[in-house]
Amino acid sequence: MKLPPLIPGRLIKRYKRFLADIQLEDGSVVTAHCPNSGSMLGCNLPGLPVMLSLSPNPNRKLAYTWELVQVNGYWVGLNTMLPNRLAEEAILDGTVAELQGYANLRREVSYGSERSRIDILLEGEKGHCYVEVKNVTLVEHGLALFPDAVTERGQKHLRELMEVVKNGHRGVLLFTVQRGDGSAVAPADAIDPTYGRLLREAVKQGVEALAYRAQVSPEQIRLTERLGMQL
């Protein structure tokens, strides 16, 4: 996935979840949209190098969007609007080998008793494969951890994937790690123990947990390699 031309700066502070004050290289300060509703633990420290995109829409309230932050020498992709596109590209180009062999790929398809929307639905002679995509930006002690805050929505997704498997379909949780460090992916039990318990239960019931690392740079982001899961 190619990124638009990005503008460097440094983080002053992130606040109200969706706002961040950034100092640009010329010394000016702008308020940027933060496209990430999580805690962004470890990625929101004042002074960190960041990259912003600039919208061509003159009517947009906030012209800048915070796209990347540099942590421990690695660029980290923060925009939670991108992982579904990254996953789609990686499935279609064959990078995610475990999700090949389906004739059709659809995004944001309604499913389940609660009429949720699955991120990606794969269909073909092999049947139906429901893929829920999660964005991972937190790394601690060499492990990429999810979630970075308590997520009742994520817990609901695990229950729905278990129901998918129970009904005879394939259910997959795809963690996209938008940073270059972290040797494997694990549940952040210290942050959301309920999510960790449900994830392990889901895997025991046949839900597949896959993790792929993204190569992140100011020019592009793409999934490149599978990581292990530590459950």
DSSP per-residue letters across 150-166: --HHHHHHHHHHHHHHH
pLDDT tens for the 231 residues of the chain, in order: 999 999 999 999 999 999 999 999 999 999 999 999 999 999 999 999 999 999 999 899 999 999 999 999 999 999 999 999 999 999 999 999 999 999 999 999 988 766 789 999 999 999 999 999 999 999 999 999 999 999 999 999 999 999 999 999 999 999 999 999 989 999 999 999 999 999 999 999 999 999 999 999 999 999 999 999 999
Sign for the pseudo-dihedral over CA of 113, 116, 119, 125: positive
Domain boundaries, the chain: 7-73, 83-229
Torsion of CA 35, 39, 41, 43, to 10 degrees: 20
> What region does 227 belong to: left with phi over 0, alpha with psi -120 to 50, or beta?
beta
Q: Which one of 2.130.10.10, 2.40.50.580, 1.20.1070.10, 3.30.540.10 gives the CATH number of domain 7-73?
A: 2.40.50.580
Question: What is the C-alpha to C-alpha distance for residues 115 and 109, in angstroms, rounded to an integer?
Answer: 9
Question: What is the C-alpha to C-alpha distance for residues 219 and 105, in angstroms, rounded to an integer?
Answer: 26
What is the architecture of the domain spanning 83-229?
3-Layer(aba) Sandwich (3.40)
Q: Do β-strands 138-140 and 7-15 pair in parallel, antiparallel, or remain unpaired?
A: unpaired
Q: Do β-strands 208-216 and 116-124 pair in parallel, antiparallel, or remain unpaired?
A: unpaired
Distances (CA, A) of 209 to 10, 115, 127, 199, 203: 35, 22, 19, 9, 7
0.85 exceeded by pTM: yes
| Domains 7-73 and 83-229 are alike in CATH topology | no
